[in-house]
Structure formats: structure tokens, C-alpha cells
Amino acid sequence: MSTQTVLPIDILIKKRDGLELSSAEIQQFVRAVVLNGEAKLGTAPQEIAAAEKITDAQIAAFLMAAFERGFTREELAHLTNAMRYSGETFHAAPLKSFTVDKHSTGGVGDKSSLLIAPTLAAAGLQGTPSISVPMISGRSLGHTGGTLDKLETIPGFDTQLSLARMTEVLLECHAAMVGQTPRLVPADRILYAMRDHTGTVESPYLITASIMSKKLAEDLNALVLDVKVGSGAFMPSYEQSKFLAELMVSTGELAGARTVAVLTTMDEPLGRFSGNWVEVWECVEILKGKRHALSADLIELSNVLSGWMLYLAGKAATPEAGALLADELMTSGAAYEAWLKLVAAHGGDVTVFAEPASFHKPKATRVLRAEQRGYLAGMDCKEVGWAVQRLGAGRAKPGDPVSAHAGIESHAKLGTFLEEGDPIFTLFAEEEALLEAPFAMLKATVTLSNEAPTVQPLIREIVRQ
Ligand code: URA
């Protein structure tokens, strides 16, 4: 038997030629990627074996080969696993609890995490079986909003907890909402940055490994995925969104976490507001029992996802019963109590929830109105998301601050009949000049029609094993 060392070049040539990689080869590649990152920071060991020395060019070549060739389900499970354990991971054992989380592939106005975390925490606080939600969230990405940016508009709210502090918050509140630590899944941070520069972001395989490695590093018993379809989704077609959902479900199940994906429509902003503080405000009103008609889709989505989480955790006999329980927890005020406790445990100032409409008031506003009567027939939801980002809710480059004030209010959902002059969107920004380009973008993307449009249902399909 040959004892010849397998080098990174051998691994990438194998992928280039469409051959299946072994678990050992994938682990070796991921380890080399992490060492390469550490070498740049000056924290790598002095001596690195030839098998673990890789160049940026080789990493980029591997990513392009992976983009073109894809992975078998086993290879994908090995890659996800190697990335998951590439740095520190969360350990759920001290919680003595069923751990469950949700993840969305990204949308516009999608603030369901802000309702789901306190709802599940409220269920978790109510005795056996114990449930905990160790939620590690992200920042705004492309045209989509990010949970961390929204939470950080609450004065004092600290999303950058250590894993030890996260455990304490979970023991007290049954939920914690934090950002990725620098040492959690470092392989993903390095590979993601490289994908961004090499045109390899949009691979369903690489997206699966990226998302699932981070979610599985939370030490989950179960995961519910909200995979968006429609004009505001990252994936361009229903089939591609479904394929991504199937890959993520099979990867989660192979790693031992019960995993279910819900395919949901993202053809218009979810709920009433899109932005940062305005989304917190919308959720606080709902948790306090005030249900605005424009928030109905957000509440439905949150209940469906919470319902699946409660079902998988053994708190409900069916996902439908779980959705009813979630709704009860929100209407009874139990979820609001859990929210206040959670925010306080993160150092957040809960007094701002007394009058959320008068906090972070925007300095400039403008209303986009219907120029003729007709049905609100369509919009490119991605363009709406970019308009929200351009108002100041997003960042031009990593590390830039985001505006708490920026965002939009939706006044009508697709299929609503509008009279001439009726409001469609109100735009908010910190200064008048920031309204110009987003106003033009929204105006150009909205269509009105004499014919009632076909509006897709919110919940499209459940993908599970
Ligand atoms: N979100 C992630 O975390 N990774 C991807 O690859 C895409 C979206």
C-alpha cells in the first residue's frame, strides 16, 4: 500500500475530476484552510506539515471545482462536519434541555426570529419537556436584513456574548440571541470571504455547508429552516430553493439533528415594517397583543415555524397544534414576559418598549403613492430590499454602522385594490438626501394593474425526511 502523502493539490484535482472525496481528505482540506487563515494572523504553529500547507490560489481553485462539480450527500456531510468543528462550538449539555433553533435563508422585513425566540422561551419556561433556543444570528447580507442589526437598536443590548455567558442567559431565559464569536466555525469565515471574491457564493452545496456548519455548532437537537422562494429570495427559482432545502435537511439529519424546511413566499416585504428599529417596534406591538392588519403574514409565518419547533421538541402533538400553542403564548402575554427577560439578560433597556413609536424617530420621511387606481400587482422584492439598505438600514462595506431610523412602512399587500393617491410605502431615513435613490427604486419596481394578480400562498411546502 502506498504511504505517499496526499497534498492539497491532489484533493483539489480529485474534485476537479469529479471523483468523490473521503472524510479524511475533506478534514485535511478544512484544517489546511484554517491554518492558512491563522498564518495570516500570525497565530499558526511554526511548523505546518506539507499536507496542511495550502495557498489562497488552491483554496479558490477548490471552491470553483466544488461549485462546478457539487458534492455527494456524504461529502457534503463530511464538509459540514469538518467546518462545524474547525473552531470552538457551543455545548448544550449544561442546559439539560431540548435545543432547537430556526434559520431563514434571508428576506425583506423578515423579523420572525424576534417573535419566535421569546415564544419558544415562554414554552421553555413552562416546565417539561424543557426547551432552549441557542440562537446565533447574522447581520444584514446583500438585500436582506440581519437579526443582530435589529437587536442592537435596543440601547445596551449586547449580542457579542461569550459562549459561557450565552449558557448563563440560556439557563435563565431559555433563549439567547447572539452573534458568531471570532473562534466559532472559522473555516466558514475564511471560505465565505474567498467565495465572495471568486464567484462561488451561489452554490447550493457551499451555502448548505456554510449555514449548517454554523447552526450545528449550536449543538442542536432540532432545526427548522425557513427557505425563501420568490423575487426576494437568494435562490432564483422554486426548484433551486427546494433543492437547497433538501440538501440542508439531509445534511442536518445526517448530523443527528431533526431538520425540517418550510418553503415560504418572499415576493413582498414581510409584515408592516422593514428596517432595523422599526422591525423591533412591530414585534413589540405584536408581543403586547396589538395586531396590525399588515402584520398578519408575519404572525402566520412565525406561528408555523414556532409550531414545527414545538412539535419537534415534544411540546405539541402536531405542528398545527404547535402553531396554535405559539399563538396562545403570544396573545396571553407569556411571550412578551419572556422577551423582557431575554432583553434584560442581554443588558438591553426595556423601558424603550413603553412607547416604541416615539423612539429612534426618523428625521426624514416620504410617501410613495399610487399614481392611478388599480391592484397592487407586483414588485421585485429584492429591489425593495436594496432600497431599504440604501436608506441606511444596511452597510456599504463590512463594519460600517447601520442606521436605527432607516426603513420603510408597507401600507398595502400584493392584491390590494388602491385608489389614486393611496399610500404604498412610507420611507424613513436620517436625512432628506438619503430618500432620493430609494424612492426612485421603489417607484420603478411597483406595478399597478386593472387585473387582480395571482398572489402566492405564504407557506408553500414542507421538506423533511
Ligand atoms: N448565509 C450563510 O451563512 N452562508 C451562505 O453561504 C449564504 C447565506
pLDDT (0 to 100) of residue 1 = 45
Half-sphere exposure of 107 (CA within 13 A, CB side): 27
CB 161 within 8 A of CB 324: no
pLDDT (0 to 100) of residue 432 = 96
pLDDT (0 to 100) of residue 234 = 87
Query: Can you give the pTM of this predicted structure?
Result: 0.94
CB 20 within 8 A of CB 75: yes
pLDDT (0 to 100) of residue 291 = 96
Tell me, in angstroms, the distance from the centre of ligand 1 to residue 113's CA: 17
Q: Whose CA is closest to atom 2 on ligand 1?
A: 211
Mutate to test the pocket of ligand 1, among 211, 215, 225 (most ligand atoms within 8 A of CB): 211
Annotated active-site residue 395? The verdict is no
Closest CA to 67 of 15, 27, 122: 15
Q: Where are the beta strands (DSSP E) in 35-110?
A: 98-104
CB 304 within 8 A of CB 462: no
Question: What is the pairing mode between strands 131-137 and 98-104?
Answer: parallel
Q: Give the residue extent of every domain in the chain.
A: 8-69, 93-353, 360-449
Annotated active-site residue 78? The verdict is no
Counting atoms of ligand 1 from 1, which one is nearest the CA of 210?
4
pLDDT (0 to 100) of residue 36 = 94
| Topology of the domain comprising 93-353 | Pyrimidine Nucleoside Phosphorylase; Chain A, domain 2 (3.40.1030)
C-beta neighbour count of 43 within 10 angstroms: 9
Helix, strand, coil content of the chain in percent (nearest 5): 50, 15, 35
Q: Which of 15, 195, 258, 382 is catalytic?
A: 195
Please give the chain's pLDDT, 465 residues, in tens: 456 789 999 999 999 999 999 999 999 999 999 999 999 889 888 889 999 999 999 999 999 999 999 999 999 999 999 999 999 999 999 999 999 999 999 999 999 999 999 999 999 988 788 999 999 998 888 899 899 999 999 999 999 999 999 999 999 999 999 998 888 999 998 998 899 889 998 899 999 999 999 999 999 999 999 999 999 998 889 999 999 999 999 999 999 999 999 999 999 999 999 999 999 999 999 999 999 999 999 999 999 999 999 999 999 999 999 999 999 999 999 999 999 999 999 999 999 999 999 999 899 999 999 999 999 999 999 999 999 999 999 988 778 889 999 999 999 999 999 999 999 999 999 999 999 999 999 999 999 999 999 999 999 999 999
- CATH-assigned architecture of domain 8-69: Up-down Bundle (1.20)
Closest CA to 227 of 219, 238, 218: 238
CB 371 within 8 A of CB 240: no
Q: Rounded to an integer, what distance in angstroms lies between the CA atom of residue 189 and that of residue 66? A: 17
CA dist 339 → 45, 75, 94, 98, 223 (Å): 44, 40, 22, 19, 21
DSSP codes, 113-140:
HHHHHHHHHHHHHSSSSPEEEEEEE---
CATH of 360-449, one of 3.20.20.140, 3.20.20.70, 3.90.1170.30, 3.30.310.50: 3.90.1170.30
**3-class SS at 459?**
strand
**Sheet hosting strand 374-378, strand order edge to edge:** 417-418, 374-378, 447-449
